[in-house]
Amino acid sequence: MSERGVTLLSACISNGSFSCPQHWACPPAEMCDQTFLAITFGPCDCCSDTKPLMNIYLKNEPVNYCSLCVERMACQGLQPNETLATLKMESETLKTKLEEERAKLHDVELHQVAERVEALGQFVMKTRRTLKGHGNKVLCMDWCKDKRRIVSSSQDGKVIVWDAFTTNKEHAVTMPCTWVMACAYAPSGCAVACGGLDNKCSVYPLSLDKNENLAAKKKSVAMHTNYLSACSFTNSDMQILTSSGDGTCALWDVESGQLLQSFHGHSADVLCLDLAPSETGNTFVSGGCDKKANVWDMRSGQCIQSFETHESDINSVRYYPSGDAFASGSDDATCRLYDLRADREVAIYSKESIIFGASSVDFSLSGRLLFGGYNDYTINVWDVLKGTRVSILFGHENRVSTLRVSPDGTAFCSGSWDHTLRIWA
């Protein structure tokens, strides 16, 4: 019974080796490493001795255990002689074995298979629209399923809904916090979700009445213990998936605000997430500051696959349109493609001349092109199969922070710290 649901209040328990059971009964004048704030004194629920008790929760039930029983219980999952060192060694052995298994299947490179594919022609993509109106850095944007509306959020707390064809602003909301790092359009087009330094994800229903105060109808859905880095509606307006600086991702019911599933596995801030295309099932991928990209099963909360080949924070992850692969963009100035069925990285998109991190990536409709927005103000367009760069787009005057291809693939939109969004086609 190594119960992960144990919450320990104000205790100091020594890490590593087992402590002598007499530690709790220290001479009154001394504070040893077993000193803790005891809320009650009485019979322990486990060993029945009368001692200072810690109020803890086991399987969500409150119980009172003495410190000795708490420590015994925390160590129960471990075999004798299981120390940090042995665990680490076992971990390293498994990692090597995993790499060996993966390497066995590495019989050919993606670009070799792609040699028979026709080369791409010259690309002429330019800025067709510039959306001006944010007063500060644009941090995130999302397309509406109607292929023309866009929601964007910025550092100054503003969330704006635009019509990309006409560049008109349709709605504007000011959030109570700054650095709104995440925003998403609901599949129905009737609501937007956003959040950031407020640690929450809030949903605003969009009304047709332009004069209506959107802020009044705001609904707080998600609560994390650190900043919200990304959010996305699932297939309906009813559920939202969030990722946070607290290292977790979570699935929420919009109507009740209830936590439906939480996803633990990252050992640092989670910066991005993307849902699998609906045909391929209930999974999503997340990337974090621990350099890992994890693929999760939404129903069970389990991490199915994990990839750790980037050399720095992963800022953006995006599924390949077929659902069999995903791309990632990282502060290590590379974008990479991971094949889910081969369970490994199959391509790296990098150049020696690119030294700034990639903040945001997205595929074109067929998956032939990968667009990457970088911190050196440019957008690089990559041939996914051949691994070469086909185009470099200039225009933004500060780092590109967000990039999404429109739902019908006719254009893509980039948002930047230069306060603008650009539509390219």
Partner 1 sequence: MARDMSDKELLKMELEQLQKEVKNERMPISTTAKELADWVEAHVGEDPLVKGVPEDKNPYKEKGGCVIT
- Contact with partner 1 (CB under 8 A) among 213, 365, 394, 397: 365
**CA–CA distances in Å: residue 10 to residues 7, 38, 255:** 10, 9, 35
Work out whether 379 is an interface residue with partner 1 (CB under 8 A). no
Distance of closest approach, residue 97 Cβ to partner 1, in angstroms: 6
Using the rule CB under 8 A, which residue among 133, 367, 395, 407 binds partner 1? 367
How far apart are the C-alpha atoms of 251 and 255, rounded to whole Å?
Answer: 13
- Cα–Cα distance measured from residue 351 to residue 402, given in angstroms and rounded to the nearest whole number: 21
Question: Scanning residues 238 to 267, which ones bind partner 1 (CB under 8 A)?
Answer: 246-248, 264-267
Please compute Rg for the chain using Cα positions. Answer: 25
User: Site map for partner 1, 331-350, x if CB under 8 A?
Assistant: --------x-xxxx-x----
Q: CB under 8 A: which stretch of 22-30, 42-50, 230-238, 359-367 binds partner 1? A: 359-367
- Per-residue burial over 117-130, b if 16 or more Cβ lie within 10 Å, else e, is eeeeeeeebeeebe
Q: Which of residues 42-81 bind partner 1 (CB under 8 A)?
A: 77-78
- Scanning 56-64, 204-212, 235-243, 405-413 for contacts with partner 1 by CB under 8 A, the matching segment is 405-413
Our CB check for partner 1 shows the closer of 139 and 423 to be 423
What residues from 77 to 136 belong to the interface with partner 1 (CB under 8 A)?
A: 77-78, 84, 87-88, 90-91, 94-95, 97-98, 101-102, 105-110, 113-114, 116-117, 120, 125, 128-129
Identity of the residue numbered 405: V
Residue 10 or 225 with smaller CB distance to partner 1: 225
Interaction residues for partner 1, span 196-235 (CB under 8 A): 225
CA distance 295 to 304: 6
Specify the residue, 156 or 246, whose C-beta has the smaller distance to partner 1: 246
Nearer to partner 1, 110 or 172 (CB): 110
Site membership for partner 1, residue 302 (CB under 8 A): yes
Compose the 15-44 pattern: x for residues touching partner 1 by CB under 8 A, - for all others: xx----------------------------
Query: 285 or 325: whose CB is closer to partner 1?
Result: 325
Q: Which is nearer to partner 1, 186 or 423 (CB)?
A: 423
Whose Cβ is closer to partner 1: residue 57's or residue 356's?
Answer: 57
Q: Which has the closest alpha carbon to 285: 355, 361, 222?
A: 361
Quick check: 280 and 288 in contact, CB under 8 A?
no
Largest CA distance in the chain: 82
Interface size with partner 1, residues (CB under 8 A): 75
**Hey, what are 271's tokens?**
């910066």
Sign for the pseudo-dihedral over CA of 27, 28, 32, 35: positive
DSSP conformation letters of 23-74: GGS--TT---TT----SEEEE-TTT--EEEEEEEEETTEEEEEEHHHHHHHH
Q: Which is nearer to partner 1, 191 or 270 (CB)?
A: 270
d(CA 424, CA 364): 12
Is residue 374 helix, strand or coil? strand
307: which 2 tokens?
């990839």
Of 303, 356, 388, 407, the residue at the interface with partner 1 (CB under 8 A) is 303
User: How far apart are CB 419 and partner 1 at their closest, in Å?
Assistant: 21
Nearer to partner 1, 7 or 213 (CB): 7
Least Å from the CB of residue 267 to partner 1: 5
Q: What are phi and psi of 19, to 5 degrees?
A: -90, 155
The pair of three-digit structure tokens given for residue 285, joined into one six-digit string = 């991928």
Question: What's the closest the beta carbon of residue 185 comes to partner 1, in angstroms?
Answer: 18
Sheet holding 169-174, edge to edge: 138-143, 149-154, 158-163, 169-174
Q: CB-wise, 238 or 303, nearer to partner 1?
A: 303
For residues 371 and 412, the answer to whether their CB atoms sit within 8 Å is yes
3-state DSSP call for residue 92?
helix
Site for partner 1 in 305-334 (CB under 8 A): 305-306, 320-322, 324-325
- Binder to partner 1 among 165, 215, 253, 397 (CB under 8 A)? 165
Distance CA 352, CA 392 (A): 14
Strand partners, 297: 283
CB of 255 to partner 1, least distance (A): 26
Residue closer to partner 1 (CB basis): 168 or 213 = 168
User: To the nearest whole angstrom, how small is the minimum distance from the Cβ of residue 198 to partner 1?
Assistant: 18
Least distance CB 60 / partner 1 (angstroms): 17
